Amino acid sequence: MLKRFLSERPLRLPHIKPYVPRPSDPSIFWFNSERDDIVSEVVNRVCTAHESDRGRLEIALNDAAFHEIRRLEKQHDEEARDRLGYWRSMIRRIGKMDDTEQRRVLHTIVTNMTRDVAGNFDPRVYRFARRAVPRMIGGVMEPRHLMAPAPDAVGRVLKVQGDVEHLRKLQSEGSLVFVPTHSSNLDSMVLSQALEISGLPPTIYGAGKNLFTNPIISFFMHNLGAYRVDRRIRVNLYKEILKLYSQVMIERGYHSLFFPGGTRSRSGMIERRLKLGLLGSAVEAFSMNRVRRVDRPVWFVPTTINYALVLEAETLIKDWLMDEGEARYIIEDDEFSRIDRWFSFFRKIVGMHGACIIRFGDPIDAFGNSVGSRGESLTPDGREIDSGGYIERRGKPVTDPARDGAYTRELGEVLAKRYEQDTVLMSTQVVAHVLFRHLVQSTPGMDLFARQRLRGEISLDCETLGRELGEARDRLRELERQGRVRTSEVVKGDTPQELLERALSIWNGYHSSTAARLEGNRVVIGDPSLLLYYQNRLVPFAEAIASPEQLQAACEIENLGVHR
């Protein structure tokens, strides 16, 4: 009961007097005073798009009722009891309603859905979280510091890379859209910490409604500007509302964050096929501002989140293997929902310097061009161009959803490329790759699934493994020089022996199965699926770092990422 109450109506703190933002505050501090205005803008735009055409309006209402009835019938919960009657009676009446009635119903549905999506921002919660989150993380890592945390506890575990100074300059000139890779439910929290320690502004972002079921997380999410995305709702109007909400926020200069991969990468591979819905909303926000002659550009920051240890690795790879390509969209029973796993995860990364690296890539405009220090768009040879030209038709700026859709697809491709180049390969990933490649090489002709069953059967002597690790690392260095990928300081600096020991100690003791273990002078492969998960980050580089004898196995690995 309480759970539902909280997830339906998240808690807000009472206001004695309203907070008046200062000019130096980040844009999101203005959100609460603009909230109603934003909701009504979204509602108006959605309704206007449907009202002009009775056919379209009727289809929208039928679609909403049909999908909601279908969803609620499966749910058997309180929400179903409350709402099912409404939708059932509505679907019977749609055909008989006159135009005014249909519009009124549309307006009610859209308003309710938009209110459910829109978030809240409370500066007090923000300030509290700024202090409390590092303390919590520090406390879990080193309990004696719980009350007075080691000041740099978070800074040790979390490293930030990239031209942060450039982003700080841009943030006051336009809207920044952070588009990171997605591996873990911790990502949004880790990223907000990274923004915080880099002096970058907080962002709004869409969080799955399933994250709101935990009352504490729900409280923070809701009051820190997150908007709620209920993935169970299949209604087209709802999808339009989500996109428009994101678009209106970006148009108004709110910095934004979303994961273009759509969901956590199940395989552990760097995302290649991106979901374009929210990305499109940002591109359209740019066009709309230009057409209205509002000088508020939109820039995209491709960001990679790189973990040496992934909280949910076991569940994610199991899901991928079970259902390759057709990943379950909502997983509610993974490590993220188990507090004991959080504790052992954070305990594990104690003392691991740079266990997580956030890399902010160089910002780009909506058309994939680099952006100069003043926010100007640049050609590959450094010439300054007007990004408004892209939305001109015969010299006039115009809105055109089909054109913006095409720009969005191209932007998706640019981002996927940038993810590869900005990925920071971690010790565990490199070691897993060399071990997994050995597994593939020793089992020619065997398929991926049969290989998963080879637990404890394949081993490699430390000397050979050390040599292969050294060679792979040298080739990765070369790729790094060419700008094709990056490696962590640990991968750069450790000896192969140290790398191996580090990776084994990171995995073992956290994951419930053993990825690999040392037996005398040999490394035995324990759980190939865990190795697969970590090594998948190297799929695009497998051939480039293989020796001629390893090429066949590397090809097979690289083919894991090819769409057929």
- Footprint on this chain of other proteins (rule: CB under 8 A): 367-369, 377, 379-381, 383, 385-390, 392-395, 400, 402-403, 405-407, 409-410, 543, 555, 558-559, 562-564
Strands 424-425 and 459-461, sheet pairing: unpaired
Distance of closest approach, residue 439 Cβ to other proteins, in angstroms: 18
> Which runs of consecutive H residues, i.e. helices, occur in 482-538?
489-493, 496-507, 528-535
Using CA of residue 274, residue 280, residue 281, residue 285, what is the dihedral sign?
positive
List Cβ neighbours of 29 (8 Å cut-off, separation of 6 or more). Answer: 19, 21, 22, 121, 123
Q: Which is nearer to other proteins, 197 or 385 (CB)?
A: 385
CB of 555 to other proteins, least distance (A): 5
Between 193 and 387, name the residue whose CB sits nearer to other proteins.
Answer: 387
CB of 375 to other proteins, least distance (A): 15
Report the alpha-carbon distance of residue 21 to residue 28 in Å, rounded. Answer: 9
> To the nearest whole angstrom, how small is the minimum distance from the Cβ of residue 179 to other proteins?
18
Q: Smaller CB distance to other proteins: residue 227 or 407?
A: 407
In the bound complex, what is the minimum distance in angstroms from residue 406's beta carbon to other proteins? 3
CA distance 324 to 143: 41
Taking the complex as a whole, the smallest distance from the CB of residue 177 to other proteins amounts, in Å, to 18
The SS3 assignment for 537 reads: helix
Residue 453 CB contacts under 8 Å (≥ 6 apart), including other chains: none
CB of 376: closest distance to other proteins in angstroms?
12
Kind and range of the H or E run holding 102? helix 99-117
Residue 350 burial (CB count, 10 A):
13
Cβ(560)–Cβ(325) below 8 Å: no
The rounded distance, in Å, linking the Cα atoms of 98 and 188 is 46
Given the complex with other proteins, which of 425 and 554 has the nearer CB atom?
A: 554
Q: Would you say 351 or 405 has its CB closer to other proteins?
A: 405
Q: Provide the minimum distance between the beta carbon of 394 and other proteins in the complex, in angstroms, as a whole number.
A: 7
Looking at the Cβ atoms of 89 and 559, the one nearer to other proteins is 559
Least distance CB 46 / other proteins (angstroms): 24
Give the residue with the Cβ less far from other proteins, 79 or 558. 558
Q: How far apart are CA 113 and CA 408, in angstroms?
A: 26
Nearer to other proteins, 97 or 448 (CB): 448
Per DSSP, the residues of 126-182 read HHHHHHHHHHHHHHHH-GGGSSS--TTHHHHHEEEEE-HHHHHHHTTTSEEEEEE--
Nearer to other proteins, 193 or 441 (CB): 441
Q: 298 pairs with which residues across the strands?
A: 175
Cα end-to-end distance, the chain, whole Å:
47
